[in-house]
Amino acid sequence: MAFPGAPAPGNDMETEPVSADADPSLQREIFAGLVGAGIAVACLLPIPIVHLVAMPLGPFLGGFVAGNIARPAARGRVIIAFMVGCGVSGILATAAAILLNLAQKDELPSWFPAKGTLIGILAIVWLYEATLSAVGATVSVALARRKQDAASQD
């Protein structure tokens, strides 16, 4: 007796998931990570008043939206966190590299850090962004599961 949605015996499609939600593909997780990184970067834009709240919470929002897109398992959350962290810190690293290469030492502001300190700052930013986006994706998945469980109990 075959179950609904199950492949016929001897079919080569036995290894494929029944639904996209059961095992999201790597491409979907990467796309979700790119969307999350885009949201986190957009939250860096200097929008009056909103910027003060959106900038620190941008990676969480990006991870939350990415989690809604991909409904990732642990691997997907790591991919999303990595991409959001690399997206934001990559843009900051690019801006810093441009400043360091185009400006002379006396043209940089006095508060601009040295290269070693700058690398440390970028590492901390990456860790902050990756952690918050992983938390956002985890919260998104948990809320979706709770909603799905509530719907299945009704």
From the CA atom positions of the chain, what is the Rg in Å? 21
What pLDDT is recorded for position 151?
Answer: 86
**60 neighbors 77 (Cβ within 8 angstroms):** no
| Model pLDDT, residue 47 | 73
Residue 51 located in a structural domain: yes
Whether 6 maps to a domain, the answer reads no
Q: Answer yes or no: is 102 within a domain.
A: yes
Q: What range does the domain containing 126 cover?
A: 25-153
Give domain status of residue 3, yes or no: no
pLDDT of residue 25: 81
For 3-46, write each residue's pLDDT tens digit: 444 444 444 433 443 344 445 588 888 999 999 999 888 888 77
The answer to whether residues 81 and 153 touch, using CB atoms and an 8 Å cutoff, is: no
Q: What is the structure's pLDDT at 5?
A: 45
For residues 122 and 89, the answer to whether their CB atoms sit within 8 Å is: yes
Which residues of the chain, if any, have pLDDT below 50? 1-22
Number of domains the chain is built from: 1
DSSP secondary structure, 97-150, as one string: HHHHHHS-GGGS-TTPPPHHHHHHHHHHHHHHHHHHHHHHHHHHHHHHHHHHHH
Q: Would residue 126 count as lying in a domain?
A: yes
What pLDDT, on a 0 to 100 scale, did the predictor assign at position 42?
86
What is the pLDDT, as a whole number, of residue 126? 95
| Amino acid 106: pLDDT | 77
Is residue 7 in some structural domain? no
- Read off the pTM: 0.74
**Does 129 reside within a domain?**
yes
Q: Is 9 a member of any domain?
A: no
